[in-house]
Amino acid sequence: MKLALLGDFVAVPWADGKCRNASSWRSVDVMSDGFAVRSVYHYGTLMGSFILAKDGVRWVFQPESVGWGSVSDQQGMNKILANYSWRYRRNGGVPRYEEIR
């Protein structure tokens, strides 16, 4: 599976209990407190989660960790977040997520 598809809910619909792998990346779909959630992991580190909004249409990204702050963390998350208003940055050696408005 291509990494970018982990954040594409049209090409890869959410399915409760489903795990998907893309190289060293993994996503897990679960129901949590009545919400559909897709959690994204890189080498076992929870990087962030997509949560289905109450309107049942939009997926909202929730950052969880910047991981090790590596180039592969940055490149992977930016592929996954391509259709969302978030970017993973490493300027000045400081890894962080930025919401683009």
Q: 3-class DSSP state for residue 66?
A: coil
Residue with tokens 């919400």: 35
* Beta-ladder partners of 40: 27, 48
pLDDT at 80 over 90: yes
pLDDT at 92 over 90: no
How far is 25 from 98, CA to CA, in rounded Å?
A: 21
**End-to-end C-alpha distance for the chain, whole angstroms:** 30
Contacts of 68 (CB under 8 A, 6+ apart): 45
What's the pTM value of the predicted model, to 2 decimals? 0.94
Domain that holds residue 17: 3-99
Q: Let me know if 66 is exposed, middle or buried by CB neighbors in 10 A (0-12, 13-18, 19+).
A: buried
pLDDT at 101 over 90: no
- pLDDT, residue 93, reads 84
pLDDT tens figures, 3-61: 999 999 999 999 999 999 999 999 999 999 999 999 999 999 999 999 999 899 999 99
- pLDDT, residue 30, reads 98
- Per the structure, how many domains does the chain have? 1
